[in-house]
Structure 1
Amino acid sequence: MPTPVISEFSLINQFFTNATQLRKHVALGIGDDCALLQLTDDEQLAISTDMLVEGQHFFPDVDPHALGHKTLAVNLSDIAAMGARPLGFTLALSLPDSNPSWLQPFSEGLSALANNYSCPLIGGDTTRGPRNLCITIFGAVPEKYALRRDAAKAGDDIWISGKLGDARLALGCLRGEWPLDPAALAQTRRALEWPEPRISLGLALRGIAHAAIDISDGLLDSLQHILEQSGLALRINVDAIPRSTWLSTQPLPIQRQCTLTGGDDYEICFCAPPSQRLQIKKISENLNLSATRIGKMTLCDTDHPSIVLHDRAFNIIEIDFKCFDHFSNEY
């Protein structure tokens, strides 16, 4: 009889919620980009942990300099989505060997990004085994400015920073799912291997956005978390989702697969009231980072799906693709 398989988040809910009974100093536990611990009456400590596993999150032959960058970037992205300021991180490494020719560029990529965001390495652990890179990162955020997923409100605009889908486009090419010419692969592979955490955007959205999430496992997956935590529904114009020239030349099914369920984008999806549109435009201009309005949060209607997708002509779109799940083979 085959071993039963449950999803990543079902696993967490079924087996680990008993260990998450909140105490007075825990302002937010499992279920968001970061946990929040109360430091003072008005400031909270944001904490997030992520693992990158060889063969699951990165190819064995990836440039170790790029891997060092990405290992920290994906954690900084969680801090950004909470509107927090980075404080420091710990690093736990499982490595098959202690080869300096791999460790030197890896550490350089890691250190360069840490220095860019004043986020020092403050401890960790090492062991021998399959290559597994685990970071726990710490940040600080004033309690009233934390961009929690459960704070979205009906009527909020849904925004996306940057462009989506290039990382998944490159991954599909590298896995032989579709062809790309060398120039397109070089550009999109950079999106896959060198994501840029949106720390400055997260800080600028304090007091502007109600809720935010980083897009790690696909836009639809991220939106599902927001609506579940906030108790709302939403509508998305799939044609409004920003994408690169490289992705825009692909067949429409590939475009929609990459932008809606692709993952590894590490852009910020955030919800803000319509009254903040002008302010968000100014933030976008100041940061030289595009921000695109793609939909709206709505009240739940039991007669309709929680997520409604439509094109620019408001024709309803049915999407067959699945977002990434660590315990599914369907991605």
Structure 2
Amino acid sequence: MPSEFDLIARHFTRPPRDAARVPLGVGDDCALVAPAAGMQLAISSDMLVEGRHFFAQADPALLGHKCLAVNLSDLAAMGARPLGFTLALALPAADDDWLRAFAGGMLALADAHDCDLIGGDTTRGPLNICITIFGEVPTGQALRRDAARSGDDIWISGTLGDARLALAGYRREIELDAASLQRAGRRMHVPMPRVALGQALRGIAHAAIDISDGLVGDLGHILERSGVGACIDADALPAGPELAAHPSELRRPFALAGGDDYELCFTAPASARESVLAAAAECGTPVTRVGRIDAAPGLRLVDRNGAPLSLQLASFDHFASP
């Protein structure tokens, strides 16, 4: 039976790629991280619990990808460049094959974003994955939730709702054919964090947030922190290709309040529209303008003709949702 330290050495120990940024990684009581001059550290933690954030018996390679992707998405929302991350992992058993696949999925995404695994912990217990990620952003240039201004455009990266559609299919809330469920399921299991776009929006966007619990709730955090309101055209939302085939009665709530999209919602002045589009094109990430920030508090939803919509929507909440 391999020891805890054998597992760490076998699956999670690699030398840092840039000794100037990470002088010391896995193997000591602490890692050492050195942001460049003129940079601030951006730090975020996320926990994924089996049965709450992912299904039991989830594919370990896809799970490894997703657990890091959700943390990279937080850095993207701040406009930060990834530096490194720690992994705290509770395991019901020391399954070498499971760990090999999990580490492979996680570290492949880490390599794609030049982000080192620099430390963490392992223990026995119900499957639980907690990552703390570190990034750097030029001082004063972080995209923050409290910076939206009246008159700003509201933009969305990528598409929304296919992850929620997949969840509905898995739960048998709706019937999806196998091919549609597989395509929608990719958005749920393999989100792609918009790290390059977040960095490209520095100096262009005012406020940003990543959409993890649903647009309505996540945009609401920007509105609350910035002391503003908003109007959203529900029919302008970029529905995912699988969701787009469904009627508006399903498309609107899934795009507005579905979770697990990990796209960016950001605000920018109307005068910056060409700059936003140029930044998005440079990153190869589509963006869609879906509304505006208003001085009057509250979130107003309208259809494509500007008529008000009355929809009962609630984004995911860990203590309010079943």
Q: TM-score, normalised by structure 2?
A: 0.87
Aligned mates of 1:220, 1:192 — CA distance in 2: 18
Aligned to 1:46: 42
Counterpart check, 1:315 vs 2:307? yes
Q: Does 1:130 align with 2:120?
A: no
The residue that corresponds to 1:36 in the other structure is none
Once the 2 structures are TM-superposed, how far is the Cα of residue 144 of structure 1 from its aligned partner? Answer: 2.2
Q: Measure the CA separation in 2 of the matches of 1:278 and 1:154.
A: 19
Shift of 1:258: 1.1
**Number of equivalent positions:** 288
- d(CA) in 1 for partners of 2:71, 2:207: 18
* Matched residue type, 2:76: A
- Give the corresponding residue for 1:90: 86
CA distance in 2, matches of 1:128, 1:71: 19
Matches of 1:282 and 1:49, distance apart in 2: 31
Task: Give the equivalent residue in structure 2 for 1:6.
Answer: none
Partners of 2:290 and 2:144 lie apart in 1 by 20
Which amino acid is 1:307 matched to?
L
Q: Does structure 2 retain, via aligned residues, the 8 Å contact 1:42–1:144?
A: no
**Any idea what SS the aligned residue of 1:144 has?**
coil
Task: Give the root-mean-square deviation of aligned CA atoms.
Answer: 1.3
**Cα distance between partner residues in 2 of 1:154 and 1:294:** 15
> Following the alignment from structure 2 to structure 1, what is the Cα–Cα distance between the partners of residues 259 and 131?
19
- Counterparts of 2:186 and 2:164, CA distance in 1: 11
The residue identity in structure 2 corresponding to 1:178 is: I
Residue equivalent to 1:234: 230
**CA distance in structure 2 between the aligned counterparts of 1:320 and 1:151, rounded to whole angstroms:** 28
Letter aligned with residue 166 of structure 1: D
What is aligned with 2:181?
185
Q: Which residue of 2 aligns with 1:64?
A: 60
Cα displacement (A) at 1:41: 8.6
* Corresponding residue to 2:51 among 49, 52, 55: 55
Task: Show structure 1 runs of 5+ residues with no match.
Answer: 1-38
SS of the residue corresponding to residue 245 of structure 1 reads: coil
1:320 is paired with a residue whose SS is: coil
Q: After TM superposition, list the pairs within 5 Å mapping 1:143-154 onto structure 2.
A: 143-154=139-150
The alignment status of 1:77 with 2:73, answered yes or no, reads yes
The whole-number CA distance in structure 2 between the counterparts of 1:213 and 1:219 is 10
Query: Post-superposition shift, 1:42?
Result: 4.2
* Cα distance in structure 2, aligned partners of 1:225 and 1:278: 26
Tell me what 2:270 maps to.
274
What is the match of residue 217 of structure 1? 213
CA distance in 2, matches of 1:322, 1:203: 30
1:283 paired residue number: 279
The 3-state SS of whatever aligns with 1:293 is strand
Q: Distance in 2 between matches of 1:179 and 1:71?
A: 28
For structure 2, list consecutive stretches of 5 or more residues without a partner in the other structure: 1-34
Answering whether residue 111 of structure 2 is matched by residue 115 of structure 1, we say yes
The residue number in structure 2 matching 1:263 is 259
Per-residue deviation, 1:40: 8.9
Matched residue SS, 2:304: coil
Conservation of the 8 A alpha-carbon contact between 2:162 and 2:241: no
Task: Answer yes or no: is the 8 Å Cα contact 1:93–1:127 preserved in 2.
Answer: yes
SS in 2 for 1:317: coil
Query: Partner letter of residue 238 of structure 2?
Result: P
Q: Give the letter aligned to residue 95 of structure 2.
A: N
Query: Do the aligned residues in 1 keep the contact of 2:80 with 2:135 (CA within 8 Å)?
Result: yes
Q: Which residue of 1 aligns with 2:8?
A: none
Which residue does the alignment assign to 2:9?
none
- Per-residue deviation, 1:284: 2.1
Tell me which stretches of 4 or more aligned residues in structure 1 moved more than 4 Å: 39-42
User: TM-score when scaled to structure 1?
Assistant: 0.85
